[in-house]
Amino acid sequence: MIKLYGYWRSLAAYRVRVALNLKGLTFTEEIVDLATDAQLAPAFRALNPQGAVPTVVIDGGPPLTQSLAIMELLDELHPEPPLLPTDPLRRAYARSLALLFAADHHPLITPRVTRYLRSNFAADDDKQTEWVRHWVHQSLQEAEARLVREHNGSSFCHSDLPGIADICLASQVLGAKAFNVDLTDTPHVNRISAACLANEAFSRAHPLRQPRV
């Protein structure tokens, strides 16, 4: 039995939901209400000291954190359909693009960062929105430049199957849409994100299709 601790609008939890759906795995999701800082409660921090979702428990085993590590574990435990291309160079491209989003850009827009901007730098709602838009747009422009160079005409970023790079890209585009970021300058990103959203595994995981409480 797979238990996901997540939250409807968490982009990182969305990634894990998509990966679970792509693998055809059944899971239950327990809501950690980020709106009320439930992630900071001692009971949840006992599961994930970072105080962040996603956190996954498989068959009552140890809690697993970090969406990329969780997705790669799922891929190793359930190899079909693969979440990484078979060609070593394309695997490296896929991991690198996934990290661009999950390691470098998405962390900048998490609640802990915007909370700190508010409490320590007097950033009001407008300033926080400007901050989020800036980093989300920059990440997608950087991905666009990468795809111009790396894309080989496949349906998704690096292959004809959606994988970790596509999942991370789709999550960041959801963030962009939520903050009304103008994406007219990222056509490759937009085409791949549309291909992802047309896939049932992605649409079922969509934030707006999740329970909120």
Ligand X SMILES: N[C@@H](CCC(=O)N[C@@H](CS)C(=O)NCC(=O)O)C(=O)O
| Lookup: tokens for 113 | 């960062």
Closer residue to ligand X (CB): 118 or 191: 118
Closer residue to ligand X (CB): 45 or 152: 45
Bridge partner residues of 42 (DSSP): none
Q: Tell me: does residue 173 bind ligand X (CB under 6 A).
A: no
**Mask for 46-85, x = binds ligand X (CB under 6 A):** -----xxxx-----------xxx-----------------
Q: Tell me: does residue 4 bind ligand X (CB under 6 A).
A: no
Closer residue to ligand X (CB): 51 or 162: 51
Tell me how far, at minimum, the Cβ of 186 lies from ligand X, in Å: 21
Selected range binding ligand X among 9-17, 74-82, 88-96, 201-209, rule: CB under 6 A: 9-17
**How crowded is residue 130: how many other Cβ atoms within 10 Å of its Cβ?**
12
Closer residue to ligand X (CB): 21 or 39: 39
Tell me how far, at minimum, the Cβ of 40 lies from ligand X, in Å: 7
SS3 content of the chain, % helix, strand, coil (to 5): 60, 10, 30
Closer residue to ligand X (CB): 10 or 186: 10
Tell me how far, at minimum, the Cβ of 148 lies from ligand X, in Å: 26
Parallel, antiparallel, or unpaired for β 55-58 and 64-65? Answer: antiparallel
Task: Report the site for ligand X in 88-147 (rule: CB under 6 A).
Answer: 102, 107, 110-112
207 preceded by cis ω (within 30°)?
no
Q: Tell me: does residue 6 bind ligand X (CB under 6 A).
A: no
Q: Which of 4, 5, 8, 11 is in the footprint of ligand X by CB under 6 A?
A: 11
CA dist., res. 25 & res. 45, Å (int): 26
DSSP calls for 135-197: HHHHHHHHHHHHHHHH--S-SSSSSSS--HHHHHHHHHHHHHHHTT---TT-HHHHHHHHHHH
The three-state secondary structure class of 65 is strand
- Site of interaction with ligand X (CB under 6 A): 10-12, 34, 39, 51-54, 66-68, 102, 107, 110-112
